[in-house]
Amino acid sequence: MSDTQFDDAFFRLTSNDRYSKMVQRVRQGHSIWTLADEQGCLVITLNTDQVLPVWPNEAMASHWGEKDYPDFKGLEISAIDWLEKWLPGMTADKYSVGAAPNMAGECIVSSAEEHSHDIKPA
């Protein structure tokens, strides 16, 4: 999957498969994408969790947000920044990661600390 390609089939994968693909992409050094506006990143409250949704490319992030979050645009996060800046900050702030929500909003939600552990090669 290229960084600019929108692949609707990706959204039809199981949440576990989408999570695995996201982890694999970051391990390979690819950027990930979230949604942001002029106020900051989109954070969704699920039960008591504050969740930052992320996708493997800008097209997927934008497509996911266009109906409910039309003012938000894709924000690229390099793999290095994700690992060295974002995840430690999110761990300190007790934020969670929502890995590649599908169009119904289904995804694996993990703490930033768990996600960081999953990304680091064994």
pLDDT digit string, tens, across residues 4-22:
455 678 888 999 999 999 9
Whole-angstrom CA distances from 93 to 9, 22, 103, 113, 118 are: 33, 22, 27, 11, 19
- Average pLDDT on 22-35 reads 95
Q: What is the pTM of this model?
A: 0.90
Q: Tell me, what's the pLDDT at 7?
A: 66
Angstrom distance (rounded) from CA 40 to CA 98: 17
pLDDT digits (tens, 9 = 90+) for 43-100: 999 889 999 999 999 999 999 999 899 999 999 999 999 999 999 999 999 999 999 9
For the CA atoms of 42, 45, 51, 54, the dihedral, rounded to the nearest 10 degrees, stands at -50
